[in-house]
A and B are shown apart, each in its own frame.
Chain A
Amino acid sequence: MAEKVLMKGNEAIAEAAIRSGLKCYFGYPITPQNEIPAYMAAHLTKKGGTFIQAESEIAAINMVYGASCTGARAMTSSSSPGISLKQEGISYLVGAKLPAVIVNIMRGGPGLGNIAPSQADYFQSVKGGGHGDYRMIVYTPETVQEAADLTMKAFDKADEYRNPVLILGDAILGQMMEPLIFKEPSGRTFDKSSWKLGNRKDRPSHLINSLSLSEGVVEEWNWELKKKFDLMTEKEMMVEEYLTDDADLVFVAYGTSARICRAVVNQSRKEGYKTGLIRPITVWPFPSDVISKCTRKTKDFFVVEMSLGQMIEDVKLAVLGRASIHFHGRPGGGIPAEPDIMKQLKEIMKK
């Protein structure tokens, strides 16, 4: 068995990316994700890859676009304000059907905010921070192990769908060290010869862009993209249900908030409260069906986020008025505290 190692979430993501065959990393420094570019600078080049500290976030995402056009596995990472700058590029990647892996280790906002953990980029991540009708798979790991596993998966899914994939973590995930074991990458290969750019030789020319001014072409292109998004919705949703079978109240939370809720579930069960947790591992596609099904037996849902309440809107759409929804949120870098959630839980359960 592979050796257990102790690593920060940021480093684990970087190492997993390199093991997945990453060829090009482009980034611009910002706390709390700096360990990713630092790790890439130290290790990616030794594996024959290219590391560039770009002149800006916008340059970095467009370098990803360029590298991806040639068929190379390409990646960028940043934190909230930097990810805002990349939105145009992300929209272009989807429009041009280009694979890429993007990592957002979220910090407090809006604006330059602070460097504390946050989950306030949910809307931006799942509702399209960039322009146009687009979707991408958004993974939300809660442990360092899962961060590494999902990074490997992200590269495969990006290539499989020719679409960017986002890894959405908060600063706790990025900065925390935990033991993990790197799994073997899938080894799946993807034939990109039908579309990638490069030395043409005798083949017909390829064109990658996201612009067409001819009537109806972009609409038709959108319908094509929709087929892909529908397939992702059908096949790529990931969720964990924890002790939901007999639960009177079910928490819905992702990432670090989910870990905090898990601790509350464990503690409250010791005190006789039947609680459970639904943890979306992909926040797009969102596990609406799982939540919807849960309303048959659970009449209280408790959403916990490190924001003023963003994912709660998707929970409401899944619940459709069939159960009560409660909320605990901490914006601007605040971290939900177990005792506070516990107190609120007891008040809800009293009613």
Chain B
Amino acid sequence: MEHKIIFAGFGGQGVISMGNLIAYSAMAEDKNVTFYPAYGIAMRGGTANCSVIVSDDTIASPVIASPTVLVAMNEQSFDFFIERIQIGGVILANSSLVKKKPARDNIRSCYVPVNDIAEALGNNKMANMAMVGALLKSSGVLKLDTVFKTMQKTFPAKLQKFMDINQKAMQHGFDAAELN
């Protein structure tokens, strides 16, 4: 099984962090993984994306021509990548910002209002974590428990106090995700 995931959104939405977390967690599950970020000129408010491949087999190319899952945190990312999703792949959209529906019927979709989920928890920075939860549910790429444990291991000490709310956001995203 090979998951080819493109995470995309505004700089500052935690797009790279999502990819990082999935990459570290995949390693914890002893999967093969590659993480390739758009680098260099990223800035808050600009566009950000990264490509993560998680596979049971050796990964040939780390470059994703057609993703199995597109995680679109905003509408620009949706527009930019939607046609590239593999047939039978999944558009996972942040429905708090993405209002469009895909104009193609050969992919599946999962819309989760992750900004609203984060705001309901009182911290809008948690939207990306809610999205990771939704990704885990809709793709089955990794176990939620693995990701929880990886966060405990990889969060720097000064962020450990935010562990609860991060995990709560992830759980809420997981619970809210429904694949259509």
Q: What per-residue 1/0 map shows which CB atoms of A1-31 lie under 8 Å from chain B? A: 0001010000000000000000000000001
Within B32-71, which residues are at the interface with A (CB < 8 Å)? 32-37, 39-41, 60-63, 65-66
Which of B40, B41, B62, B65 has the most C-beta atoms of chain A within 10 angstroms of its own C-beta?
B62
Q: Which residue of B lies closest to A177 (CB)?
A: B35
Asked if A32 contacts B39 (CB within 8 A), the reply is yes
B121 in contact (CB, < 8 A) = no
B24 in contact (CB, < 8 A) = yes
In the complex, A207 Cα to B16 Cα: how many Å? 52
Within A292-348, which residues are at the interface with B (CB < 8 Å)? 335, 337-339
Asked if A263 contacts B60 (CB within 8 A), the reply is yes
Q: Shortest CB–CB separation between residue B42 and chain A, in angstroms?
A: 11
Asked if A335 contacts B34 (CB within 8 A), the reply is no
In the complex, A167 Cα to B40 Cα: how many Å? 22
Q: Shortest CB–CB separation between residue A302 and chain B, in angstroms?
A: 16
A38 in contact (CB, < 8 A) = no
A176 in contact (CB, < 8 A) = yes
Q: Can you identify 26 A-B contacts, CB atoms within 8 angstroms?
A: A4-B27, A6-B27, A6-B33, A6-B35, A175-B36, A175-B39, A176-B36, A177-B20, A177-B35, A177-B36, A178-B33, A178-B34, A256-B61, A256-B62, A256-B63, A259-B60, A259-B61, A259-B62, A259-B63, A260-B61, A262-B61, A263-B60, A266-B60, A335-B63, A338-B63, A338-B65
In the complex, A177 Cα to B19 Cα: how many Å? 10
Asked if A31 contacts B39 (CB within 8 A), the reply is yes
Asked if A176 contacts B62 (CB within 8 A), the reply is yes
Q: Shortest CB–CB separation between residue A12 and chain B, in angstroms?
A: 13
Asked if B60 contacts A176 (CB within 8 A), the reply is no
A179 in contact (CB, < 8 A) = yes
Asked if A338 contacts B61 (CB within 8 A), the reply is yes
Q: Shortest CB–CB separation between residue A5 and chain B, in angstroms?
A: 8
Q: Which residues of B contact A (CB under 8 A)?
A: 20, 23-24, 27, 32-37, 39-41, 60-63, 65-66
Asked if B65 contacts A115 (CB within 8 A), the reply is no
A158 in contact (CB, < 8 A) = no
Asked if A6 contacts B34 (CB within 8 A), the reply is no
A262 contacts which of B33, B41, B60, B66 (Cβ < 8 Å)? Answer: B60
In the complex, A4 Cα to B28 Cα: how many Å? 9
Report the tally of A-B residue pairs with Cβ distances under 8 A: 60
Q: Report A-chain residues with C-beta under 8 Å of the C-beta of B27.
A: 4, 6, 179
Q: Which residue of A lies closest to B52 (CB)?
A: A177
In the complex, A338 Cα to B67 Cα: how many Å? 12
Q: Shortest CB–CB separation between residue B31 and chain A, in angstroms?
A: 9
Asked if B23 contacts A260 (CB within 8 A), the reply is no
Asked if A176 contacts B35 (CB within 8 A), the reply is yes
A6 contacts which of B23, B61, B62 (Cβ < 8 Å)? Answer: B23
Which of B24, B27, B32, B36 has the most C-beta atoms of chain A within 10 angstroms of its own C-beta?
B36
Q: Report B-chain residues with C-beta under 8 Å of the C-beta of A171.
A: 39
Q: Shortest CB–CB separation between residue A28 and chain B, in angstroms?
A: 17
Q: Report A-chain residues with C-beta under 8 Å of the C-beta of B33.
A: 6, 178-179
In the complex, A260 Cα to B36 Cα: how many Å? 14
Asked if A31 contacts B40 (CB within 8 A), the reply is yes
In the complex, A260 Cα to B65 Cα: how many Å? 10
In the complex, A176 Cα to B166 Cα: how many Å? 26
In the complex, A4 Cα to B23 Cα: how many Å? 13
Which of B23, B27, B33, B39 has the most C-beta atoms of chain A within 10 angstroms of its own C-beta?
B39
Q: What per-residue 1/0 map shows which CB atoms of A108-128 lie under 8 Å from chain B? A: 000000010000000000000
Q: Shortest CB–CB separation between residue B64 and chain A, in angstroms?
A: 9
A283 in contact (CB, < 8 A) = no
In the complex, A6 Cα to B23 Cα: how many Å? 8
In the complex, A108 Cα to B139 Cα: how many Å? 35
A100 in contact (CB, < 8 A) = no
Asked if A6 contacts B24 (CB within 8 A), the reply is yes
Q: Shortest CB–CB separation between residue B36 and chain A, in angstroms?
A: 5
Q: Report B-chain residues with C-beta under 8 Å of the C-beta of A136.
A: none
